[in-house]
Amino acid sequence: MTDDTFDDSDDALYERAADAVYEALLERTGEGAPQPRLTATRRAVEVLGDPHRAYPVIHITGTNGKTSTSRIGESILRAFGLRTGLLTSPHLQRFNERIVIDGEPISNEALARNWSEIRPYITMVDDELEAAGEARLTFFEALTVLAFACFADAPVDVGVIEVGMGGEWDSTNVVEGQVSVFTPISLDHTARLGSTVDAIARTKSGIIKPSTDVVSAAQPAEALAELRRAAELTESTFTVQDEAFALESNTVAVGGQVITVRGVAGRYPDLFLPLFGDHQAQNAAVAIAAVETFIGGGDQALAQDVVAEGLATATSPGRLQVVGVEPTVLVDAAHNPRGAETLAAAIPQYFTFDRVIAVLGVLADKDAKGIVEALDPVVDEFVVTQAPSDRATDVDELAATVVSVVGPDRVAVEPNIRSAIETARDLAGESDKGAVVVAGSILLVGEAIAIAADEGWKDA
């Protein structure tokens, strides 16, 4: 398919066109207010000829770890020789990061061209919805449709699709995944998904389709019960970590860790994973089991060299990522208490810092107190800032929350993000092994990555 609008080979033109796509999507209802419906997305993909049915899908949901698990699984699939499509959210720096084709963010040209081609159909569905008294397609609904169209256009051999929020009514749930994957489930988005773990698990279990394969990380008992029930009702197979597969060992190594995984169909010893944290080793185990299930139905082991290549080339930006040295600056997307607990556990195990300064910004719908309580044991001082979002908790309100947990002597306030990070770097630099950890909001992490690149901190 071609569009005369984008025949110019000028890279700057494509970049402007891709930026215009993002701006057009931003005019829609934002991701913080998803519509609990599937009919709108179903109608949009229907008028486009069901692009989401052009390739098999691994569908991934959970509370924490779903982006990393998606990325690791996608990397293994590429190592296997498959052309992949990967949809994740949110992005850290540029919108193109959300739609990945064969390991690379979608090009500006492909993004703009595909949007140009589907835009008339999106407008048609918008008009139908408004005529029926419903809201037009939201940001995430339109993004989902765009991603499915991009994958069909590429074309890809397999799509790895990360749920945006929940599962049952998330717009990605128009797919019929061959494998449904669940990363650890805990409390988050409680206003939308429910106030208990079992209620949240029930909503997430909605991605399980009849007679499919289900792979789950180890779960709290109440979440596990909901997932088992959903698998039984749909007559699906159910494979859970620590029963059918397991992480046998992981050892800290330079630049990451070495892990051994007992998969569903094979054992994979001494794999290098260039990611920090025990949780990433667990994510890798789930990803391996998911790929085994997808490729061979869980009955055939993968080649050791394929798994080794897939893990060794896996990346997970914004997850315990080092973006600066002298002092070390880490960013981590922990934005709920469970994620903060995981971050707090990883810092002393994988690093030898003698002083840790946290730069913290949190969105208003998150459990800020729970995040601070989780980080408190490993953080010496907090620099509170304003996350770059209109949904951010006011900096003074957040500071009061932090003070209520750790006391006033360990808290500084810097509303400007760049100033906050510079203050934290100065404080960390007072120790031989001081470090800065930026956390609490994925948007804040993305801003920190951009600042680090701009300032050249890794080149220090």
Q: What pLDDT, in 10s, does the model give residues 247-285? A: 999 999 999 999 999 999 999 999 999 999 999 999 999
What's the average model confidence in pLDDT over 290-311? Answer: 95
**Single pTM value for the model:** 0.92
* CA–CA separation, 334 and 342 (whole Å): 8
CATH architecture for segment(s) 321-455: Alpha-Beta Complex (3.90)
**Every domain of the chain and the residues it spans:** 4-241+275-312, 321-455
Instruction: Report the percent of the chain where pLDDT is more than 70.
Output: 97
pLDDT of 6:
47
Q: What pLDDT, in 10s, does the model give residues 135-174? A: 999 999 999 999 999 999 999 999 999 999 888 999 999 9
Pick from 36, 71, 284: nearest CA to 161: 71
> For residue 458, what pLDDT band results from cuts at 50, 70 and 90?
confident
pLDDT at 192 over 90: no
What's the average model confidence in pLDDT over 166-193? Answer: 89
> For residue 459, what pLDDT band results from cuts at 50, 70 and 90?
low
Q: What is the 3-state secondary structure (H, E, C) of 32-98?
A: CCCCCCCHHHHHHHHHCCCHHHCCCEEEEECCCCHHHHHHHHHHHHHHCCCCEEEECCCCCCCHHHH
Q: Tokens for 124, please give them.
A: 């048609």
Q: Which fold has domain 4-241+275-312?
A: UDP-N-acetylmuramoyl-L-alanine:D-glutamate ligase (3.40.1190)
Over the chain, what is the mean pLDDT?
94
pLDDT at 1 over 70: no
pLDDT at 303 over 70: yes
Q: What pLDDT, in 10s, does the model give residues 67-109? A: 999 999 999 999 999 999 999 999 999 999 999 999 999 999 9
pLDDT at 460 over 60: no
Which ranges constitute the DSSP H helices of 318-410?
337-350, 368-375, 395-406
pLDDT of 156:
98
What's the average model confidence in pLDDT over 174-182? Answer: 97
What's the average model confidence in pLDDT over 430-454? Answer: 95
Q: How many C-beta atoms surround the C-beta of residue 295 within 10 A?
A: 19
pLDDT at 370 over 90: yes
Q: What pLDDT, in 10s, does the model give residues 336-353? A: 999 999 999 999 999 999
pLDDT at 424 over 70: yes
Q: What pLDDT, in 10s, does the model give residues 34-66? A: 889 999 999 999 999 999 999 999 999 999 899
Beta strands 158-162; 237-240: pairing state = unpaired
Which of the pair, 33 or 411, is modelled with greater confidence? 411
pLDDT at 4 over 60: no
Pick from 412, 351, 255, 302: nearest CA to 80: 302
